[in-house]
Amino acid sequence: MQTFQTEETRPFRELCADHGLTVTHQRQVLYEVMQTMPGHPSPEEVYARVKRRIPAISLATVYKNIHLFVERGVLKEVSMHHGSLRVELNSHLHHHMVCSHCKAITDLDEKDLGELPALQSLPGGFQAERYAIDVIGICAACQKAKRS
């Protein structure tokens, strides 16, 4: 029987090893900070938080590592509808609701969507790995705002 650990609880050194990344202080803090930011932060937002713990860190380093993390599958890139890159920890299966009015992004558990079609035999021999579903609509707050 195999021990099961999520990426959140597994020690950071091990996670880096798994993804072929060198362990550095900056990366560790970056990762820890992202664990405390459950939303879909922009690089600037992550930078602001990390800076509280490593005041000398550079925005360029944050960008470089976010990209590295995305490439290696530690982070996932999220949705469009923003002028800037948004990321989230690559954890459990979920999708997003995007308000077409205020652009807010909310998580949507995959099971709230009901049964999804199987990913097979797509045109052009495309080999599918996963869905990224955005449900576009109006969030509750904007519905209220429009009524008034």
Give the whole-angstrom CA distance, residue 66 versus residue 77.
10
Binding DNA (rule: CB under 7 A), the pick from 63, 72, 101, 138 is 63
3-state DSSP call for residue 88?
A: strand
- Burial (CB count <10 Å: 0-12, 13-18, 19+), residue 108: middle
Binding DNA (rule: CB under 7 A), the pick from 65, 97, 105, 139 is 65
Give the whole-angstrom CA distance, residue 124 versus residue 24.
42
Scanning 10-18, 21-29, 42-50, 75-83 for contacts with a second copy by CB under 8 A, the matching segment is 75-83
100 binds DNA (CB under 7 A): no
Scanning 78-86, 105-113, 126-134, 139-147 for contacts with DNA by CB under 7 A, the matching segment is 78-86
What does 22 interact with, of a second copy, DNA, none (CB < 5 to 8 A by kind)? DNA
CB 98 within 8 A of CB 104: yes
CB 137 within 8 A of CB 143: no
Total of residues contacting DNA (CB under 7 A): 26
Region for 103 from its dihedrals, namely left if φ exceeds 0, alpha if ψ lies in -120 to 50, beta otherwise: left
Structure token pair of residue 71: 């490439």
Please tell me whether 142 is known to bind a ligand. yes
Give the whole-angstrom CA distance, residue 15 versus residue 87.
18
Closest distance of CB 83 from a second copy, Å: 9
By CB under 7 A, the residues from 11 to 40 that bind DNA are 16, 21-27
- Give the footprint of DNA on this chain (CB under 7 A): 16, 21-27, 42-44, 54, 56-61, 63-65, 67-68, 83-85
Binding site, annotated residues for Zn(2+): 99, 102, 139, 142
